[in-house]
A and B are shown apart, each in its own frame.
Chain A
C-alpha cells in the first residue's frame, strides 16, 4: 500500500464514502512518513474547517423570480388543459357523427363520395378540428415564450434582459403579466438601453389607457433619453390625454429643456399632419 492509497482512503472516510478510518497498519505508515502526515493533516483541515458556519444565503430576488416562473408554468399548464378539453369535446362529437353516419363499411365509399361532392358544391369551410389543434399548439408555444421572456427579463445580466424583451415580441400581446413586467423595467431598470428597449416593446404590443396613464405618471422620474423616447412615442401613437398630460408636465418644469423643445416640435408636426 503506497502513500496515494492511504491518502485516498482518508479522503474516502472524511467524505463519507468509507465506513472506517485508516487501519492501524496505515496509521503506522503515516507516522513514519512526514510528507504523508502533512497531507493527511491538510485533508482533515479541509474537510473539517468551518463546518459549523452558516451557509451563504441568496437574496429574496431569487424567490421572487422562481415563484413568478412557477406561476407562469402553472398558467401555461391550465391553458393547455383547457385547450385539450376543447379539442376532446370536438373529437367526441365527430366520433358520434361518424358512427351515426357510417353504420356499415359497404356504405363508406358512397358516403365519402357524397361528402366530397357536398364539399365541392357548397364550399363549406373544412378542417375545423385541425384549426382547433393548431390554435391549441399556438397557445402552448405562446405560453412557453411568455415563460422564457419573463424569466429572461428578470435576469441579472442586461444582455439577457434585452434578449428577454425581444422574446416578448413572440408572445400574446394581451398578456398583462408581461405588460406589467415591461412597465416595471421602463420605470426601474438600471440600464437605459434596457429601459428604451422595453418602452419600444410595450408600444409595439399596443398601449391600453391604463398602461398609457402609468407611463405618463412615470415621465417625471425618467432620465432625458427615456423622456425623449416617451414623448416621441406618446405623441406619435398615444391618445389626446397623453398630449394634454405631457403639455402639463412641460409647463410644470418636470421635463428637461431639450425634451420640452422636442415635445413642442412633435405636437406641431402632428397637428400639421392632421390639418392635411
Chain B
C-alpha cells in the first residue's frame, strides 16, 4: 500500500519523481471526478493536467494535517470551479455515454443497470453544481463528510443538510428524466 502523504512530502522535499507515483495512483479517479462533474473527456484531461500542475506549484502548502487525497481533491475542486467560472458562458456539458456491457450478469440485467446508470448520470448533470460536487465526492470519490466539509468550507451539520437536499434534487431530476424516457 502506497503512503501518499509520504510521497507528497518527498515531492515537497525536491524528489519530484514521486509525483509520477501520485499521478498514476490518482489519474483515473480524478479524470472520472471531472467527468462526473459534467465535463467532456478532453476538458477532463486538461483539468487533471492542470490539477497536477497546481500540486507541483503549491507543494509547499501541503502540511500533512489532512490526507493527500483530501488535499488533492481540494485542488481539483478549485480547478473545476475556476474552469466553471471562466467558461460558464459557453459550458459544454456532455451527455455521458452508456458503458459497455460486461459478462458478469445476464444481458437483460446489464441493460436495466446501464439504463439506470445512464439516467443517474443525466440526473446528476442536471442538478446545481454545488450539490452535484458533494454527491460526486461522496458517492464516487468516496470521501468522508469531514473531508468534504473541509473542502467546501462548511461545518458538518451544514454538509449533512446539503447532502439531503442534493439527494432530493437528484431524485426529482431522475423522476423527471425517467418520465420523459417512458413517454
Contact = CB atoms under 8 A, between A and B. Distances in A.
Interface of A: 4, 7-8, 11-12, 15-17, 39, 42-43, 45-47, 49-50, 52-59, 61-63, 65-67, 69-70, 73-74, 77, 151, 154-157, 160
7 nearest CB pairs, A to B? A156-B42, A50-B117, A58-B31, A62-B45, A15-B138, A17-B145, A55-B32
B27 A7 contact: no
B116 A45 contact: yes
Nearest to A81: B14
25 contacts: A4-B164, A8-B160, A11-B163, A11-B167, A15-B145, A39-B167, A47-B139, A50-B99, A50-B117, A50-B120, A54-B102, A55-B28, A56-B31, A56-B99, A58-B28, A58-B31, A59-B41, A62-B27, A65-B45, A66-B23, A70-B16, A151-B49, A155-B46, A155-B49, A156-B42
Nearest to B116: A49
A219 to B, nearest CB: 30
A58 B48 CA distance: 10
User: Chain B: interface residue count, which band?
Assistant: 35 or more
Nearest to A47: B139
Give the interface SS of chain A, mostly helix, strand, loop or mixed.
helix
A58 B32 CA distance: 8
A67 B20 contact: yes
A10 to B, nearest CB: 9
A61 B145 contact: no
Contacts of B117: 49-50, 53
Interface string B102-145: 10100000000110110010000000000000000011001011
Nearest to B49: A65
A65 B49 CA distance: 7
Given A17-B144, A47-B139, A66-B48, 5 more contacts: A12-B145, A42-B171, A54-B99, A74-B17, A156-B43
A96 B30 CA distance: 53
B12 interface: no
A62 B31 CA distance: 10
B56 A73 contact: yes
B170 interface: yes
A167 to B, nearest CB: 13
A17 B48 CA distance: 27
A151 B28 contact: no
Contacts of A77: 14, 16
B45 A156 contact: yes
B67 to A, nearest CB: 15
A213 B48 CA distance: 36
Contacts of A50: 99, 113-114, 116-117, 120
B174 interface: yes
B55 to A, nearest CB: 11
A11 B46 contact: no
A63 B116 CA distance: 32
B27 A58 contact: yes
Contacts of A46: 120, 139, 167, 170
